[in-house]
């Protein structure tokens, strides 16, 4: 199977840019990027290898362009098909956009419940990294307790993982999972309901979750 053109292109272009950053003296950098920041950090030399710098740059490009464009495409597609939800979003945005030449701050947009519900629903349908990200507990058996209180022992050194696609399409968590329903992220008063946040896997979970979450 051939690699996707985007991935192939990144493997060629980004290492070249990394080498350019490494070869450029710090006092001549006009617009510092993530590679420059890592090179100027106090991290050990192993954290500044070409492989590490290239990996970080690829992650930023994919997370900062491909993922965001996919989420925006999903939200735009569904809103253009649903004038009622689109009008509701417009009304909410007009409540904080008094002047088109002075857009609201991000801290203001974070307080808009319907806008954030739309973002959450688009993220759910985008899935993030849909393949399983595995973890291993090498020194102990794990005990999984199900919702019916039954328990299952997972032997040590087992590779454990779960797919965001399966979770985001679980009808027990998200009724009518293939539908675009921003209201599922709101309570009966129309304010943001955080109950489903625990099942949102688009950014993965834990200390190594995607930095794009912020």
**Cα–Cα distance measured from residue 40 to residue 103, given in angstroms and rounded to the nearest whole number:** 34
- Is the Cβ–Cβ distance between 202 and 124 less than 8 Å? yes
**Cα–Cα distance measured from residue 34 to residue 53, given in angstroms and rounded to the nearest whole number:** 8
Q: Tell me the residue ranges of DSSP E strands in the chain.
A: 135-136, 142-145, 151-154, 159-160
The answer for residues whose C-beta is within 8 angstroms of residue 17's C-beta and 6 or more apart is 35, 57
- Is the Cβ–Cβ distance between 55 and 38 less than 8 Å? no
Q: Which residues of 39-67 are buried (b: 16+ CB within 10 A; e: fewer)?
A: beeeeeeeeeeeeebbebbbebbbbeeeb
Q: How many angstroms from the chain centroid is the CA of residue 97?
A: 27
Q: Determine whether the annotation assigns residue 210 to a binding site.
A: yes
- Binding-site residue numbers for heme are 210
- Binding-site residue numbers are 210
């Amino acid at each position: 199977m051939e690699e996707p053109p985007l991935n192939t292109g990144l493997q060629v272009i980004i290492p070249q840019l990394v080498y350019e950053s490494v070869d450029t003296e710090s006092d001549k950098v006009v617009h510092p990027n993530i590679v420059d920041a890592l090179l100027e950090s106090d991290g050990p030399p192993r954290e500044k290898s070409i492989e590490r710098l290239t990996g970080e740059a690829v992650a930023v490009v994919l997370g900062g362009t491909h993922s965001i464009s996919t989420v925006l495409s999903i939200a735009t597609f569904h809103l253009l098909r649903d004038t009622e939800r689109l009008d509701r979003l417009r009304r909410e945005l007009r409540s904080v956009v008094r002047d088109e030449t002075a857009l609201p701050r991000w801290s203001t947009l974070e307080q808009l419940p319907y806008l954030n519900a739309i973002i959450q629903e688009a993220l759910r349908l985008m899935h993030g990294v849909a393949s399983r990200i595995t973890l291993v507990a090498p020194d102990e058996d794990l005990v999984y307790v199900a919702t019916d209180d039954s328990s299952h022992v997972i032997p040590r050194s087992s590779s454990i993982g779960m797919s965001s696609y399966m979770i985001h399409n679980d009808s027990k968590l998200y009724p009518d999972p293939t539908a675009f329903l921003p209201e599922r992220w709101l309570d009966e008063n129309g304010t943001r309901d955080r109950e489903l946040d625990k099942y949102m896997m688009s950014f993965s979970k834990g200390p190594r979750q995607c930095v794009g979450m912020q």
